[in-house]
Amino acid sequence: MDLRRRSMTGIVVYAVMLPAVFWPFDFHTEEPTLSLAFAVIMLTISVVRLAHWFFSDAIYNYSPNLWRNGFTILSLLHASVLSLFFGLAIYDPRFTPILHVTMLAIGGIASSAIVALTPRISLALLNLGMLLVPSIIAGFIIDNKLPYALMILVYVVFIGLMGVRSSREYNRSFEIETQLDGQKKILEQLNKVDVLTNIYNRGYFNSEFERQWQMGSRHKISTALMLIDVDHFKVFNDHHGHLCGDACLIHVANLMKRHIKRTTDLVARFGGEEFVVLLSGYSGKDAITLAEKIRLSIESTPFNYEGNELYVTISIGVASTIPDSQSDKKILLEAADKAMYNAKRAGRNQVFSTIELLN
Ligand SMILES: Nc1nc2c(ncn2[C@@H]2O[C@H](COP(=O)(O)OP(=O)(O)OP(=O)(O)O)[C@@H](O)[C@H]2O)c(=O)[nH]1
């Protein structure tokens, strides 16, 4: 589709090129029928090409091949009409007054077409061949026109080679751009995700929390937070080893993810054995209900490590509020942290909330 963007100028130039060649030399009054016929044909092809250009997206979506074939046929049609004109200009003495200006114009068209069609070098070379080879043949056949034929031949070889070279450079930079694009996407993803648990990391949580806080304060949408901490994780690590501890964190993250289904909510690793869940549009009560479900599912779902079925529990602190642009979002985090601390103090494996913040 890059061809579409690059071909626009050419389509317009083709439409006006022949009248611009005739006019200063009065060729249109000397040969009105011939001039009119060529001008009308070129203009008609340009109009069809403009329609093809304009409806490119629709045609491409329907069938990329249809778009490609249409583009190829129409651009070769333009080239063949110009080629016929140039061939005649060399062959027919009536064209002598405009022969040199025609050569100049067609030379310019040939080089700009090579540049425009660089993404498809085969089409660019075919176009070049169609445009200039007939006039070379005409030059070889007709008396006194051999110098023209040789000149055009050298020109064809020269811009053909330039075209091949710039096509290689185009493809190379296209390749590099595609690779960079892919790497950028991977980096963006890595930047967001915690490498161990494959859920969002704290940096991403911070930016999303800020975004939701702003949106919540603008639209008065309740925002809830859960701070989740694995109980006695130090003991767990000491008893089963650090690798088993890692597997446990992955297990807890996966179970939590199952409960966070809405695209506006997210679960992230807050650090160490702590997780955070950000919920948009949840009342405090709804958030507590969801927290209880998560707590229960972790308590009751074992995970397998080296043939052993292991269980862990979590403590959850919940807080919710309708954000206010005047206040700092930290208050919600501190409230959830306080609630989690209370859940730990109350014996762990519990959901606590900071009542004064709940709606
Ligand atoms: N395996 C593993 N352990 C981690 C990781 N990050 C933090 N930890 C461990 O998590 C433990 C946290 O211990 P504490 O902060 O004392 O908390 P706790 O033992 O869970 O006690 P309570 O929170 O009071 O129930 C420490 O032993 C850390 O080494 C990790 O990525 N992998």
62-71, 83-92, 187-196, 247-256: which is most confident: 247-256
Residue 271 Cα: closest atom of ligand 1:
6
Class of domain 202-357: alpha beta
> Which has more pLDDT, 8 or 343?
343
Which residue's CA is minimally distant from atom 13 of ligand 1?
234
Residue 248 Cα: closest atom of ligand 1:
1
Read off the pLDDT of each residue in 62-89 and give the average, rounded to a whole number.
92
ipTM of the complex: 0.96
First to last CA, the chain: 53
Instruction: Report whether residue 68 contacts ligand 1, using a CB cutoff of 6 Å.
Output: no
- Phi, psi torsion values for 170, nearest 5 degrees: -60, -50
Q: In the prediction, which pLDDT does 1 show?
A: 67
Q: In the prediction, which pLDDT does 271 show?
A: 93
What string of DSSP letters covers 36-83?
HHHHHHHHHHHHHHHHHHHTHHHHHHH-HHHHHHHHHHHHHHHHHHHH
Read off the pLDDT of each residue in 223-240 and give the average, rounded to a whole number.
96
Which residue's CA is minimally distant from atom 1 of ligand 1?
245
**Region of 130 on the Ramachandran plot (φ > 0 left; ψ -120 to 50 alpha; else beta):** alpha
Pocket test for ligand 1, best of 230, 231, 237 (most atoms within 8 A of CB): 237
pLDDT tens, residue by residue, 104-122: 999 999 998 998 888 889 9
pLDDT tens, residue by residue, 242-264: 999 999 999 999 999 999 988 88
Question: How far away, in angstroms, is 70 Cα from ligand 1 center?
Answer: 65
Instruction: Report whether residue 273 contacts ligand 1, using a CB cutoff of 6 Å.
Output: yes
Label the pairing between strands 303-305 and 274-280. Answer: unpaired
Instruction: Report whether residue 206 contacts ligand 1, using a CB cutoff of 6 Å.
Output: no
143-152, 189-198, 289-298: which is most confident: 289-298
Which residue's CA is minimally distant from atom 21 of ligand 1?
232
Pocket test for ligand 1, best of 234, 240, 275, 314 (most atoms within 8 A of CB): 234
Read off the pLDDT of each residue in 52-68 and give the average, rounded to a whole number.
91
Q: Is 311 exposed, middle or buried (0-12, 13-18, 19+ CB in 10 A)?
A: exposed
Long-range CB contact pairs, 205-212, < 8 A, 24+ = 205/266, 205/268, 205/270, 205/276, 205/278, 208/266, 208/278, 209/278, 209/329, 209/333, 210/329, 212/264, 212/278, 212/280, 212/323
Q: What b/e string do you get for 281-299 counting C-beta neighbours within 10 Å, with b at 16 or more?
A: ebebebbbebbeebbeebe
Spatial CA neighbour of 49 closest among 96, 91, 81: 81
Contact between 357 and 319 (Cβ < 8 Å): yes
Q: Where does the chain hold its CATH 3.30.70.270 domain(s)?
A: 202-357
Read off the pLDDT of each residue in 83-92 and give the average, rounded to a whole number.
90
Residue 238 Cα: closest atom of ligand 1:
27
Share of the chain above pLDDT 90, in %: 73
Read off the pLDDT of each residue in 223-234 and give the average, rounded to a whole number.
96
Spatial CA neighbour of 86 closest among 43, 53, 42: 42
- Phi, psi torsion values for 186, nearest 5 degrees: -60, -45
Which residue's CA is minimally distant from atom 8 of ligand 1?
272
Q: In the prediction, which pLDDT does 263 show?
A: 86
pLDDT tens, residue by residue, 261-281: 888 899 999 999 999 999 999
Residue 233 Cα: closest atom of ligand 1:
20
Residue 155 has a CB neighbour count (10 Å cut-off) of: 18
The pLDDT confidence band at residue 158, using thresholds 50, 70 and 90, is: very high
Which residue's CA is minimally distant from atom 24 of ligand 1?
232
The pLDDT confidence band at residue 156, using thresholds 50, 70 and 90, is: very high
Read off the pLDDT of each residue in 294-317 and give the average, rounded to a whole number.
95
pLDDT tens, residue by residue, 18-51: 889 988 999 999 999 999 999 999 999 999 999 9
Mean pLDDT for all residues in the chain: 92
> Which has more pLDDT, 141 or 318?
318
Which residue's CA is minimally distant from atom 16 of ligand 1?
234
